[in-house]
A and B are shown apart, each in its own frame.
Chain A
Amino acid sequence: MSTQEQEATQNLTLVQSVRDALATEMELDDDVLVMGEDVGKNGGVFRATEGLYDEFGENRVIDTPLAESGIIGTAVGMAAMGLKPVPEIQFSGFAYPGFDQIVSHMARLRTRSRSRYTLPMTLRMPYGGGIRAPEHHSESKEAFYTHEAGLKVVIPSTPYDTKGLLISAIRDPDPVVFMEPKLIYRAFRGDVPEGDYEVPIGEAVTRREGSDVSVFTYGAMTRPTMEAAEELAEEGIDAEVVDLRTVSPMDRESIVESFKKTGRACVVHEAPKTGGLAGEITATLQEEALLYQEAPVKRVTGYDVPYPLYALEDYYLPNAARVADGIKEAAEF
């Protein structure tokens, strides 16, 4: 890529940048292939693979039978043989028939084989609520995957990061679970370079500098969190917003660094509270920065109930008002 091409940008939605990342990497590396339900001729139910079938053909954009374990399990076999498959699970809520393949093999094959067999594969799945979907289409269960050693778990929140992180994930020598916030697939556009570039896995980014309280979040919750931070700025509370981008391995340094500056923290995720990543972040702060702590760490999360059908989902999901309430509680303690 020439510098000029690198600098050319396009204005894309998040889901378009998923597609752009796949097309970019497939163009550069013949070993990369896309597989899953409806990803081929149909271009994916969310259009994440639109046009790729025509561009790269049926052997690199593969419509598979409707079988999550088969998709993930055969991708494991392909990756062990040196291909770089990018299987798509249509909704994260349907990944569970393939859960055994994820935890028993995707996560463990490098360890089991002492690195003879490695899995350069990226398992894409849209996750999260707020799109008025039927049952099982709205959950946010990233904690299942972060609990499993051997997996990296990435959750982008902007079109730019989505492309850069997805390219990094495809190039990563280890398996990556790439969870896409479908609530914001088309919520806004952003400038995305046309060429290939990487956003490093494992690095958080500060979305808003602030001095009073640190707010840690990721994925679709980044938007209401930023909204809340801007509202609170008018009330005189200066919140720093850190977008984790990768939830495993988590960028503990950036989390601790921000907290040392503010001494106060609020963690926001749409996943249920118990066993969620907010607990991990809170524990990290306890371990690494106890003496900086000026207030209890506040968790603003989904509730510990099965994700409600959509008539009530707005009450379940953290929104700007709930996030602002949580930030205030941490800031004013």
Chain B
Amino acid sequence: MSRITTPFRPFANQYRESANRYERAFGKTGGQSTPCQFLAVFLFTVNYLRKHYQAGRTAFWYAKVGTVSTLERDPDDGMVQVLDDEGGVVGDVPDLPEEEFVAMYRHMKLARHFDERAVSLQRQGRMGTYPPLSGQEGAQIGSAMALAEDDWLVPSYREHGAAMVHGLSLKETLLYWMGDERGSLIPDDANVFTPAVPIASQIPHATGMAWADKLKGDGETDTGFLCYFGDGATSEGDFHEGLNFAGVFDTPNVFFCNNNQWAISVPRERQTASETLAQKAVAYGFEGVQIDGMDPLAVYKATTEALEKAKNPGEGERRPTLIEAVQYRFGAHTTADDPSVYREDAEVEEWKKKDPIPRLERFLRDQDVLDDERVAAVEESVREEVADAIDAAESTVRPDPESMFEHVFAEQPPELRRQAEEFARLREEYGDEAFVEE
């Protein structure tokens, strides 16, 4: 089992890049600097030094860099990174067997292709409204791959890629978005919670689940509970209440914020005046870390460390962690949304330079793990898997209409039984064509 080693990368090169990034961020190429800009450069450089030369574990970062917001400044600024935008190594590469890196790459390709096909199905009228994930594969796959089989994944509604890694089939995800309740019947052997549509409302559940586990274990636990939500969710009361309870009761949670910059049309700066979302963890008494969410290796590392801390906190450490994974939603909020109304194409193109998939691919090619032939093989197998999932979902017989009356209570109350009988009579008398619009 070969392992990937980290090649040396000269500091000077990195510094030049960071300076270039600074210029891009301010739209300046020369001339006089204001004191504020000078300070920003200084802090920027200090941070780069700290980031790349700090020994040991990933640096947890409470943002204190400059005064620009996440969106305005270069997304790399101050965040935990393993790969740079081009797939070059700038941090400690996780110690994983080669096939795990290939699996990570394949999962990301699978999630991307699934996403493209799902959007296309919606456009063709073969599926209902669907929330795309393109651009967010690094965050989803990198974090879900950090989970042990017994760990729990508590998703919002966009984590198709993460849920797939942890045992929910693509067919089920398709069924759910095709309007079939059976799509949210999670297989018994997958520790995945049901998707939550009301924003942030799953956060207290994740806290309660983790808390229950700890209570059942008399204060000990070897299970981590990874909960996903977006940047918009951090403005909700349930974000506060869920994280606050987690801090107070020291629950084994990892709160994973997919900061994709946009809550439908509202940008990250409109959600909070905080410089980072990660820093909100300070108020709950536990660690927050801001990572490059489009760098799957940084995501994997930070999530692995956070899960480990959730299960085995060090002396004086609290179990929970808030991870802010800075990333970008390439597509629309859902297929019902038109992002051209509220954001510029240029911005999208800028973020596409950070696309997690070519980044990991470049890295794996540099390590001679991937070549044209292996990439082609992955692409072929991914196409087949998605096509099979679509076939399976589309060939699934529509749900029995009377199943609507099932799974409301363990035992059907009399009035519900009467309504089910009335419903059966109507179908019998008029036929389904009287009720179903085609």
Residues of A in contact with B (beta carbons under 8 Å apart)? 33, 59, 64-65, 67, 69-70, 72-83, 97, 100-101, 104-105, 109-118, 149-150, 152, 172-174, 202, 249-250, 252-253
Contacts and interface: CB of A to CB of B under 8 A. Distances in A.
19 contacts: A64-B248, A65-B241, A67-B244, A70-B241, A70-B244, A70-B245, A74-B242, A77-B204, A77-B206, A78-B215, A81-B209, A82-B216, A104-B197, A105-B196, A111-B181, A115-B407, A116-B186, A249-B414, A249-B415
Nearest to B246: A74
A78 B185 contact: no
Interface of B: 181-182, 184-186, 188, 193-194, 196-198, 201, 203-213, 215-216, 237-238, 240-242, 244-245, 248, 407-410, 413-416
A83 B194 contact: no
Contacts of B409: 110, 150, 152, 174
A73 B204 contact: yes
B405 to A, nearest CB: 10
Contacts of B216: 81-83
Contacts of A113: 184-186, 194
B203 to A, nearest CB: 7
B181 A112 contact: yes
A101 B245 CA distance: 15
A80 B181 CA distance: 18
A79 B245 CA distance: 16
A81 B244 contact: no
Contacts of A73: 201, 203-205, 207-208, 238, 241-242
A94 B386 CA distance: 48
Contact of A109 (B185, B194, B207): B194
A33 B194 CA distance: 24
Contact of A64 (B210, B245, B407): B245
Contacts of A104: 196-198, 201
Given A97-B237, A100-B201, A249-B415, 5 more contacts: A67-B240, A67-B245, A77-B210, A81-B209, A249-B414
A230 B415 CA distance: 33
A114 B184 contact: yes
A123 to B, nearest CB: 13
A81 B152 CA distance: 11
A202 B415 CA distance: 11
A78 B408 contact: no
Contacts of B196: 104-105
Contacts of B184: 112-114
A74 B181 contact: no
A253 B193 CA distance: 38
A204 to B, nearest CB: 12
A253 B204 contact: no
